[in-house]
Amino acid sequence: MKADETPQAACARCGEAFHCGVDDDKPCWCSQVKLNPQTLRDLEQRYRGCLCGTCLMAMQAQADSNS
């Protein structure tokens, strides 16, 4: 891979492509999304792989509205 190429992943929930920062020098953007432990367990059971920012924010909003 060339240095100027951005690694892409497909969201396990919606299928959209996004940049996964797990291998970046800095913490991935997803580490800023705060999900409660139950929501995290549900996501781990339902999906294999990362979710895009849109889906993670939707899951966070849904969890916040249910509490």
pLDDT in tens, 5-60: 456 789 999 999 998 888 889 888 888 888 889 889 999 999 988 899 999 999 88
Q: Is residue 53 part of a domain?
A: yes
Distance CA 58, CA 61 (A): 5
Q: Is residue 37 part of a domain?
A: yes
Number of domains in the chain: 1
Higher pLDDT, 63 or 5: 63
Q: Which of 42, 8, 1 is nearest to 22 (CA)?
A: 8
54, two tokens: 């849109």
Q: Is residue 55 part of a domain?
A: yes
Q: Is residue 2 part of a domain?
A: no
- In terms of residue numbers, what domain contains 26? 8-66
**How many Cα atoms occupy the beta-carbon half-sphere of 51 within 13 Å?**
19
Q: Is residue 1 part of a domain?
A: no
Q: Is residue 56 part of a domain?
A: yes
